[in-house]
Amino acid sequence: MDTIDYYQIMSIGVYGSAIGLILIGLYAVLMKKHLTKIVIGLSIIDAGINLLFIAIGYISNGTAPIYSSQGIDLVKTGTPMVDPVPQALVLTAIVIGFGVTAVALSLVIRLYRHHNTARIDQIKSLKW
Amino acid sequence: MVISPVHYIAVPLLAAFLMPLLAKIHRELTRIVPGLVILYLGYVSVVLMNQVMAHGTIVEVIAGWNAPWGINLVYSPFTGFLASMMTAMAFVIWLYSYRFKKVDSQPALKYFILFMMLVTGTIGIVLTGDIFNFFVFLEITAISSYSLTAFYRDRDGAEAAFKYLLIGSFASAFILIAILLLYTQVGTLNMAQIAVRMHDVPTHMKITILILFLVGLGIEAEMFPLNGWAPDAYSQAPSPVGVTFAALVVKAGVYGLIRIIFTLFDVHGAYEYLIVMGAITLVMAELAAIRQKSLKRMLAYSSIGQMGVVMIAFGIGTNEAVFGAIFLMFNHAVIKGLLFMSGSYLVYNTPNKEIQYLSGYGMKMPLISLFFSLGALAIVGLPPFAGFWSKLYILIAAADNQMIGLIALILGVSIVEIVYYFRVVGRLYFGKPSKGSIMQKPTYGGVIAMSLLAIVILVVGFYPDVITPYIHNAADALLDKAQYIHSVLPNADLSQIQNLK
């Protein structure tokens, strides 16, 4: 092979880091005992999934999916547009993730005030 | 103004965000407005259900983007029935929570905002025809459920809510990945178009996506290994919220499971999977219920068990079984609503909401005890109450398919159910009254709400014909996949579509 396929390398990198993020998040949620760390883990999982969404919508050398004269010219000359749908979905997913994180953190504060600890193995009023 | 399905989503959502402003005008408005909104939705339900029964499925296109590009709402006899049922239950819950307990002006505002969001989310899940929109409504439902679970500061609500949030976040991650994989395979998010294109997806991919969806939605639908959140959330949340979980949230979760298995996918074995998971859910939940000391936890486990029966019935998949399943969903919403409402007044002042302190309450709180006993009789399926008919139809459907083991299972578990419900009822009427317990007088709204539910149980029990035509149409609409696709995409190629059952 005389030329290096940068697109190939990049896509492996992006998919790999997305899955890596999901796994790191899972590790944090399942293994960490501190409530805040668990919430951070949840956010990392969200970030990984969002990155995965963006990655599947990307086309090699694609242009931004904006309906403008410049964009149309690019498409006419054979440059493909990347898929706009996953980008729209990610925008929504980010907002939802933000909402969930906010609720989760407020619950952590409530739990801390109630039990005077934020470690999950010391909060045992209910069965886990 | 033209009545359309979009009012189900737009009106309560608008009301939820206007509520802080309305509270500035008059304090009482925060309590009255949700009732007016739900009454209006009831009017919408009546108009639309008549239209659907006469002319068939209504498809509402939002913002002028036709399917498959835009988001559409599908108001079929099935989704319409569920949406109307949820609206009716929301009205009863509003009546019950109108003056419930210590909700003074500020918490009442928060409570009703979250309640309106919950109504929007659950009805949205049922009506939407777009898989990503489905996810968004699921998250609206989930976030308001988390907050409502943690509503009381002096209980362990925050802990139950955090547990629910943790499991719920996993659910949403699973569903998101499932949607992502589905999008890479079919290149569309419209449910009808997914169903059309599903034929070309390789089988191993189909099964992967289906499993991701089932795990994600199984959490909301209280399917067996995924229902750890339910007993805690039910017991720690305010009582009206417990009713909301049983009548709205879980129903929406089950709808999601059913829509995905029946309409989106055509995988062999998914129905058998539903039967097996339903049976395991049923047995585990009822065995857990009989060991509970707290009344609310017992009711929560019983609720999970009923969802197991619903899953079994959907899994059998014949028209009769689906009819029984939808009937049971309706009955469960009404009866479990009554049980939660009356039960929470019974255990209002007892330590830890435990059953053992309820001795002799039948004489002290005659009306509430009567409601609870009626609910207990109805939910175990004794004639002439509403629960009898749904159980009968499911058993007949199982018998028609020679599933003798399932009949034995459902009847055997019914005995367990009778044991733990009548342990409570027996204690109410034949236990020795203990001294010093303080009775809680129910609010007028609460009494009206419980009476309404009791009347529905009796009327449906004696004259099931008032509701069966709607359920028959709902079952037909759910099973007719081609009709669903045709009503959303009139030009779609239906030659590849086959009904598995």
Region class of B436: left (phi > 0), else alpha (psi between -120 and 50), else beta:
left
Q: Which residue of B has its CA nearest to A122?
A: B159
CB within 8 A of B119, min separation 6: which ones? B12, B38, B41, B86, B87, B90, B248
Strand partners, B74: B59
Question: B158 vs A99: CB contact, 8 Å cut-off?
Answer: no
Structure tokens at B182: 């589905």
Residues of A in contact with B176 (CB under 8 A): 49, 53, 93
Question: B172 vs A96: CB contact, 8 Å cut-off?
Answer: yes
Q: What are the pLDDT digits (tens) for B254-279?
A: 999 889 988 888 777 888 888 898 89
If 0-12 CB within 10 Å is exposed, 13-18 middle and 19+ buried, where does residue A58 land? middle
Q: Which residue of A has its CA nearest to B140?
A: A96
Residues of B in contact with A107 (CB under 8 A): 146, 150, 158, 161-162, 165
CATH of residue A117's domain is 1.10.287.3510
State residue B106's pLDDT score: 59
User: Does residue B59 sit in helix, strand or coil?
Assistant: strand
Inside any domain, residue A127: no
pLDDT above 90 (res A55): no
CB within 8 A of A7, min separation 6: which ones? A60, A61
Strand partners, B294: B354
User: Does residue B435 sit in helix, strand or coil?
Assistant: coil
Residue B205 forms contact with A (CB below 8 Å): no
**Which of B158, B166, B170 has the CB atom closest to A114's CB atom?**
B158
State residue A115's pLDDT score: 83
Residue ranges for chain B with pLDDT beneath 70: 1, 100-106, 155, 434-438, 495-501
Question: B162 vs A107: CB contact, 8 Å cut-off?
Answer: yes
Question: A35 vs B162: CB contact, 8 Å cut-off?
Answer: yes
Nearest to B41 by CA among B3, B98, B14, B95: B3
- The full set of domain ranges for chain B reads 268-466
pLDDT above 90 (res A100): yes
State residue B227's pLDDT score: 79
The CA distance from B158 to the nearest CA of chain A, in Å, is 6
Residues of A in contact with B173 (CB under 8 A): 22, 45-46, 49
State residue B496's pLDDT score: 66
The CA distance from B113 to the nearest CA of chain A, in Å, is 15
**N-terminal to C-terminal alpha carbon distance within chain A:** 56
Region class of B46: left (phi > 0), else alpha (psi between -120 and 50), else beta:
alpha
**Which of B163, B166, B176 has the CB atom closest to A93's CB atom?**
B176
Inside any domain, residue A62: yes
**Which of B158, B172, B179 has the CB atom closest to A110's CB atom?**
B158
Q: Which residue of A has its CA nearest to B70?
A: A85
State residue A71's pLDDT score: 67
| Alpha-carbon gap, residue B85 to B81, rounded angstroms | 6
Range of the domain at A96: 6-122
Q: Which residue of B has its CA nearest to A98?
A: B143
Question: B159 vs A38: CB contact, 8 Å cut-off?
Answer: no
The predicted complex's ipTM stands at 0.88
Rounded (5°) CA angle A90-A96-A97:
85
Residue B139 forms contact with A (CB below 8 Å): yes
Question: What would the DSSP string read from start to end of A2-40?
Answer: -S--HHHHHHHHHHHHHHHHHHHHHHHHHH--BHHHHHH
Q: What are the pLDDT digits (tens) for B330-367?
A: 999 999 999 988 888 888 777 777 777 777 777 778 88
Residue A102 forms contact with B (CB below 8 Å): no
State residue B194's pLDDT score: 87
- CA A56 vs CA A24, B138, B442, B488: distances in Å: 21, 23, 56, 27
Residues of B in contact with A121 (CB under 8 A): none
- CA B352 vs CA B176, B304, B355, B369, B479: distances in Å: 38, 21, 9, 19, 45
- CA A84 vs CA A54, A58, B56, B331, B445: distances in Å: 9, 9, 35, 44, 50
Question: A49 vs B156: CB contact, 8 Å cut-off?
Answer: no
Inside any domain, residue A128: no
Residues of B in contact with A93 (CB under 8 A): 176
Q: Which residue of B has its CA nearest to A96?
A: B139
Question: B146 vs A107: CB contact, 8 Å cut-off?
Answer: yes
In chain B, the percentage of residues whose pLDDT exceeds 70 is: 95
Question: Do B294 and B160 meet the contact criterion of CB atoms below 8 Å apart?
Answer: no
The CA distance from A78 to the nearest CA of chain B, in Å, is 22
Structural domains of chain A, count: 1
User: Does residue B292 sit in helix, strand or coil?
Assistant: coil
pLDDT above 70 (res A3): no
Question: A52 vs B177: CB contact, 8 Å cut-off?
Answer: yes
**Which of A96, A100, A107 has the CB atom closest to B158's CB atom?**
A107
